[in-house]
A = this chain, B = another copy of it.
């Protein structure tokens, strides 16, 4: 058992350092923490090449547990019952606003994309029609490719040069944020602007991308902005919602924003709530969930209402989301018991294809991290992909000879006649010469016989590779719609083949049903979401009876896919070496105790501490856990007990406004430091290095009592890892003090210490921490 020997070697190390800390905790020590020491001992270079087995130390954690220091408690105690009611009402107002604004943004994106894409396709269509008669279609191809590349260039430039965090779908980043990892700049206004602009450009640019994933990120940014009642980027403070300026409250609103985003994207308010809970919430709170649901509902409703105005049927609320799967009537596409095994088989195929997709994308991402890290290169790659996408699409359409009659009932937006007879159109063009959302809907709902199998096969193949190449480009774009499209194509193919094999029985007649199942299977195989995805799919189809097959398909896809490789989002989170905490401690981790997991020795402060010491410790960048136990020396015993936990963030605003020094000088404050000072500075506390402290000031003493949390959570050294893990996950902790029998500090467990342990193929594995 490899994991045991590994454990032993680690635990002996931990015991050793634990022994150092047991006698007297090192007060104000400023030596390197053990991670870097360990690393240098093993002769590892400072700059470590990208490696899955590492956790990066550059990510700070968020604290989702209220630090109940004196200031906080005083405020809470001052507040009356009416005050709490008002607070509750303002939470609802904020959630309503979040939903409304998210809906508006979705509406804006949708209208702009529809308009621009409409113009583009009309221009290209006219051009193609012109040159089909004259000859020289290569000019049309060039026009198409140039148009696409131009749009994509704009999208890639704003992302690569102005806000790289806006790249991709944003779902991994929001997952991390809700999990408790601080991803820099992820919820800023600038990110939102770039994201919205970027997603419009990439969709109009004809890339194999969707505009749905980015909506989740957009909703989260809206939530973070609205709930704080100010914009730091715009230097505008509305002086409202000041109570919400801390991690705990902000996280709750960001959950609501993400849910509103899902809701706007798919018209799936319940799916949005479940998405937020699946990804973010550790502690399920009834009122919070209800507010999240409210935000989701308002979001889908707003989108619906404004789209109805845009489409000139004001008040008709039948457009619940950006992507609309169209109406699945239970009668026409009913399923029967004996189809269930077929669905499960499709789930397995989806899992396999999804795993393939993820592996290819993993390699590609590694390649990108190594070689394509300069913004210019990234823009060029994006333009290349756009040009290739256009070329491939054109070639597929050109060489396809799948002509279909152009019936009046067909609502093809841009039917391309090309070389088909009059009154007919090219069927391949329905799939390629269209926004992906429309293609998905065509695959679900077009009459049987609209596509021939070869068209579908070729389309699946090319689109699979295009989508795989596209995900991870430096553009804002989601992977939901391409996945659905690939799945719908092979699902429909599957349905057609089935019908041709059995050749009878009206139950097989509609390949649209199989397109839906295929879409679910493929999406499930790639992203591996479970409950929320089922509900999102069910809500998007508007038909509850498909719940069971979709669930079975998603489960199968997940099980099969997980056998090979993780989900796409998890892969990207891992590649960023983010210290992500999963839901439960690894199953076989009962061996480990807090003693082995904790960092030790810990830098502690006294309740009354010299300013110089504090500044030195805080300036030391290698002390990256930001939490410092405050120890007391009880009069009746010479032992040093934990008396509180003091946070770096609690100190910084004090330092920045020099109030802290005043405070230190007089010991009797003139102006009492208030919670407001912290809130004004939240969340961008100035770095300690930016503050000048004179030698005189360094000699002053400072009383930390007011700022520390006097009742931090503590655990004994013998606590098992699963127990520590549960405490972290359920309470959203960032630090946990480990004490001995006598309540003396022996170590500190941080999120990163826990995130190091994960379950690999061969049992428990331990990642290393490094400054990457």
Q: Contact residues of A with B, CB < 8 Å? A: 66, 68, 73, 76-77, 79-81, 84-85, 267, 269-270, 273-274, 277-278, 281-287, 289-290, 293-294, 297, 300-301, 305, 314-318, 320, 330, 334-338, 530-531, 534-535, 538-539, 542-545, 547-548, 551, 555, 583-584, 587-588, 590-591, 632, 634, 637, 639, 641, 643, 710-711, 713-716, 718-720, 723, 726-727, 729-731, 739, 741-743, 759, 763
Given A283-B282, A742-B742 in contact, is the A335-B320 Cβ separation under 8 Å?
A: no
B297 touches A551 (CB 8 A): yes
B548 touches A300 (CB 8 A): yes
Given A68-B720, A290-B531 in contact, is the A588-B80 Cβ separation under 8 Å?
A: yes
Residues from chain B with Cβ under 8 Å of A584 in the complex: 285, 287
Bound Cα distance A590, B75 (Å): 10
Extra contacts, 9 of them, besides A317-B545, A634-B742 (Cβ < 8 A), are A76-B720, A282-B283, A317-B548, A320-B544, A320-B545, A643-B741, A711-B715, A711-B723, A730-B731
B315 touches A338 (CB 8 A): yes
A286 (CB) vs chain B CBs: closest residue: B583
A547 touches B269 (CB 8 A): yes
Among B300, B330, B555, B727, which residue has its beta carbon within 8 angstroms of that of A318?
Answer: B330
Bound Cα distance A458, B710 (Å): 63
Bound Cα distance A84, B764 (Å): 13
Bound Cα distance A726, B539 (Å): 34
CB distance from A421 to the nearest CB of B (A): 36
Bound Cα distance A416, B726 (Å): 62
Bound Cα distance A538, B336 (Å): 23
Residues from chain B with Cβ under 8 Å of A76 in the complex: 590, 720
Residues from chain B with Cβ under 8 Å of A338 in the complex: 315
CB distance from A229 to the nearest CB of B (A): 21
B336 touches A551 (CB 8 A): no
Residues from chain B with Cβ under 8 Å of A637 in the complex: 637, 742
CB distance from A377 to the nearest CB of B (A): 38
A270 (CB) vs chain B CBs: closest residue: B535
CB distance from A634 to the nearest CB of B (A): 6
Bound Cα distance A336, B317 (Å): 7
B551 touches A293 (CB 8 A): yes
Bound Cα distance A79, B720 (Å): 15
Bound Cα distance A720, B741 (Å): 23
Residues from chain B with Cβ under 8 Å of A270 in the complex: 270, 274, 535, 538, 547
Interface centre among A84, A334, A723 (most CB of B within 10 A): A723
Bound Cα distance A730, B719 (Å): 18
Oligomeric state, in copies:
2
Residues from chain B with Cβ under 8 Å of A643 in the complex: 741
Main SS of chain A's interface residues?
mixed
B727 touches A720 (CB 8 A): no
CB distance from A245 to the nearest CB of B (A): 19
Among B267, B711, B726, B742, which residue has its beta carbon within 8 angstroms of that of A731?
Answer: B726
A741 touches B634 (CB 8 A): yes
B81 touches A588 (CB 8 A): yes
Q: Please name 17 pairs of A and B residues whose Cβ atoms are closer than 8 Å in the assembled complex, sorted by A.
A: A81-B759, A273-B531, A283-B283, A283-B284, A284-B284, A301-B548, A315-B336, A316-B334, A316-B336, A317-B335, A317-B337, A330-B542, A539-B544, A542-B543, A713-B715, A726-B731, A730-B731
Bound Cα distance A718, B70 (Å): 11
B763 touches A81 (CB 8 A): yes
Q: Which 4 A-B pairs have the closest CB atoms?
A: A84-B587, A730-B730, A76-B590, A743-B743
B714 touches A710 (CB 8 A): no
Interface centre among A269, A281, A716 (most CB of B within 10 A): A716
Residues from chain B with Cβ under 8 Å of A718 in the complex: 710-711
Interface centre among A66, A316, A545 (most CB of B within 10 A): A545
A277 touches B285 (CB 8 A): no
Residues from chain B with Cβ under 8 Å of A66 in the complex: 723
CB distance from A618 to the nearest CB of B (A): 26
B287 touches A284 (CB 8 A): no
A724 (CB) vs chain B CBs: closest residue: B711
A337 touches B318 (CB 8 A): no
Bound Cα distance A316, B339 (Å): 12
CB distance from A292 to the nearest CB of B (A): 9
Bound Cα distance A530, B282 (Å): 20
Residues from chain B with Cβ under 8 Å of A538 in the complex: 270
Bound Cα distance A85, B714 (Å): 32
CB distance from A109 to the nearest CB of B (A): 21
Residues from chain B with Cβ under 8 Å of A286 in the complex: 278, 530-531, 583
A340 (CB) vs chain B CBs: closest residue: B301
B80 touches A583 (CB 8 A): no
CB distance from A332 to the nearest CB of B (A): 13
Residues from chain B with Cβ under 8 Å of A314 in the complex: 337
Residues from chain B with Cβ under 8 Å of A85 in the complex: 587
CB distance from A406 to the nearest CB of B (A): 27
Among B84, B551, B739, which residue has its beta carbon within 8 angstroms of that of A743?
Answer: B739
CB distance from A442 to the nearest CB of B (A): 21
Bound Cα distance A538, B634 (Å): 61
Bound Cα distance A289, B534 (Å): 13
A84 touches B590 (CB 8 A): no
A530 touches B742 (CB 8 A): no
Interface centre among A284, A587, A634, A715 (most CB of B within 10 A): A284
CB distance from A275 to the nearest CB of B (A): 12
CB distance from A410 to the nearest CB of B (A): 21
Among B531, B542, B739, which residue has its beta carbon within 8 angstroms of that of A289?
Answer: B531
Bound Cα distance A278, B330 (Å): 30
Interface centre among A286, A634, A639 (most CB of B within 10 A): A286
A760 (CB) vs chain B CBs: closest residue: B81
Residues from chain B with Cβ under 8 Å of A742 in the complex: 634, 637, 639, 641, 742-743
Bound Cα distance A727, B736 (Å): 14
A74 (CB) vs chain B CBs: closest residue: B590
Bound Cα distance A267, B548 (Å): 11
CB distance from A259 to the nearest CB of B (A): 12
CB distance from A583 to the nearest CB of B (A): 5
Bound Cα distance A137, B689 (Å): 96
A281 touches B284 (CB 8 A): yes
